[in-house]
Structure 1
Amino acid sequence: MTLDGRLLSNVSVMAAVVEGGSFASAANALGLTPSGVSRAIARLEGRIGVRLFDRTTRSLSLTDEGRLLYANINPLVLGIEDAVTLAAGSSGAVRGRLRVNTDAFSSRLLLAPHLPRFLAQHPDLTLELIAREQLGDLVAEGFDIAVRFGEPPSSSLVARKLTDSRVVTVASPAYIARHGRPAKPADLAGHACLQVRNAATGQPFAWEFQRGRKLVKVPTAGRLLLSDPGTILETTLAGICVAQIKAVGIQPQLDSGALVDLFPDWPDERLPLYALYPSRHLPAAKVRAFIDFVMGVVAPAAMPAAKPGTRR
């Protein structure tokens, strides 16, 4: 198939449709009419001989063939944009729309307090921070980057490890005053322990403690089963229960004494934080800027790398 300017133009229109979620959004972004976008997609479909989108009056989604094509062309389209930016002498320009896929903990407790600073640093950037339980298909859904805890799945995505976070067992001073402080993990059998729902299984996470190579699992019980990180934090601060939480998201509460690390002598239960983005030679300036931003957020609470423990 001969590569020509019209083919490249139609491919760019397809990328804009996926990123915008509709023909109208793509038309607005490209300065075209919706009918012009529709004609470009029709020309591309005719050129390659497959249907790329399933379209109704209410919805728009990629076909399997469209998803495969987009997964392969999107890094190339973005690479062309970066090459043009570099040639223009403004490789540091951070502009446009940045779509970030993350988990609720990272969104609520890790990133949200620092977003005003990031937006102030990049006034030409629009940020979409989407919190969801599962990673999903990063490329097909038009995300630029994902920031998530846990070992990344095997895929074509670039996985850059940002930090390891301790998983700490905490309680408020008020809880300790009423119920006493457990001296060792096994003592938690007599305490109200907050259960956190595992999105993958629907069951509570197991409570584990690691010190060097020693790994201990402790049965716990409690009347609360939660999944929202904000609710988990507020409930623990209110003195209702003991909880296990990633330290990187609650460092201010630990530093102020609002929460107490009950077992500092069990420091090696950890969970890695990764940035995931489509594989290509030159990440977009906006992606690089967001990674630098996250690194700046996690750096104060970063700990020496260790073997990950339980997935909290």
Structure 2
Amino acid sequence: MDQLRGMQIFRTVAECKSFTLAAERLDLPRPTVTNAVQAIERQLGVRLLQRTTRKVSLTVEGQVYFDRCSRVLADVDDLNNLFSATARPHGVVRVELPERMAHRQLIPRLPDFFARYPDLQLRVGASDRFADLVGEGIDCAVRVGTLRDSGLIAKRIGQMEQINVAAPAYLAAHGTPRTPAELPHHLAVNFYSSQTGRDMEWEYLDDGVVKTVGMRALVAVASSEAYLACCRAGLGMIQVPQLGLEPDLAAGELVEVMPEWRPAPLPVSVVYSHNRHLSARVRAFVDWVAEVLVVR
């Protein structure tokens, strides 16, 4: 059995967590599946799967091998479809998304994505950290804000308008600021960078020029969902993209403050490694994200 076929069998066993289910999916005799995995383990000199009477799970070495062979198989699929204009995108796309964007805009629309691309599967990471695309084998990531990754290729898909918001409870306790001059008398929920650990300053546009103010804060977070939760709890004001907040504003759960002093719009980009071409499967996801977000 060739090595690529063996890798496909191993990947299927790992995904199914069962030799029997993998054999059924691949339409192969169970002994063939078992022998293929054992041959890989003998070749590598390590155990890749932990077998019990009830399930099969990956060992530490097995997880490393699974991640690497999944990338190899995806690259082979991309290569085989490189010059095919009619082939439907298929395979696994590994993506990293900003937490709030994933929860509010993208994940609720995934049924539409899979209806359009039934042969694709996604492995989604949703957080506000800056993932190592190359080291973690991630195909692409959506990044909001100014890009600092010089080793990545970026496709700009638009920008998001930002607004200043607060909870009614906060405004009842502290009053409503009208101008930046009043900010020293108010509290913010600070957001700190997962890269530097430093709090981001409060920003506003003054005749097209970005100005910043260091705000007092009781709490600082590195999660966009925690950022919103702290604001709703009345712990301070925040600055967030307006996209997706319309229901909260309409229901009065959040209130826009200082609308004449909004922060600058945030650029939105999809990034991927310079050593990975934008394959049909990744391009399908990138184009879909740009369509769903409809950022200006």
Identify the residue that residue 153 of structure 1 maps to in structure 2: 149
What residue number does 1:290 align with? 285
Distance in structure 1 (CA, Å) of the matches to 2:208 and 2:13: 48
Question: Against the structure 1 CA distance between its residues 187 and 74, is the aligned structure 2 distance closer, same or farther, given a 3 Å change threshold?
Answer: farther
Question: Cα RMSD over matched residues?
Answer: 4.0
User: Which residue type is aligned with residue 83 of structure 1?
Assistant: L
How big is each residue's C-alpha offset from its partner over 1:122-155, in whole Å with a ceiling of 9 and x where there is no partner?
A: 4444332112444444244333322222315122
Aligned to 1:80: 79
The one of 3, 24, 30 aligned to 1:10: 3
| Aligned-pair CA distance for 1:104 | 2.1
Report the Cα offset of residue 21 of structure 1.
Answer: 11
The answer to whether 1:59 aligns with 2:90 is no
Following superposition, the deviation at residue 74 of structure 1 comes to: 7.1
User: Residue 33 of structure 1 aligns with which residue?
Assistant: 33
Alpha-carbon distance change, 134 to 38 in structure 1, aligned in 2, over 3 angstroms: farther
Aligned residue in 1 for 2:180: 185
Q: Alignment length, in residue pairs?
A: 276
Residues 209, 266 of structure 1: 8 Å contact kept: yes
User: Residues 42 and 159 from structure 1, CA distance in 2 versus in 1: closer, same or farther, beyond 3 angstroms?
Assistant: farther
Secondary structure in 2 aligned to 1:200?
Answer: coil
3-state SS of paired residue (1:115): helix
Unaligned 5+ segments in structure 1 are 1-5, 46-50, 304-312
Q: How does 1:138-287 map to 2 (within 5 A)?
A: 138-150=133-145, 151-155=147-151, 157-254=152-249, 258-267=253-262, 269-278=264-273, 279=275, 283-285=279-281, 287=282
Residue 163 of structure 2 contacts residue 263 of structure 2 at CA under 8 Å; is this kept in 1?
Answer: no
Deviation at 1:282, TM superposition (A): 5.3
Gaps of 5+ in 2: 51-58
In the alignment, is the contact (CA less than 8 A) between 1:206 and 1:219 conserved in 2? yes
1:306 aligns with none
Equivalent residue letter for 2:205: Q
Identity of aligned residues (%): 28
In the other structure, the counterpart of 1:105 is: 100
Distance 2:179 2:60 in 1: 55
Q: 1:21 to 1:228 in 2, by over 3 A?
A: farther
Please give the alpha-carbon distance, in whole angstroms, between the structure 1 residues aligned to 2:216 and 2:79: 55
Task: Give how far 1:62 is off.
Answer: 5.8
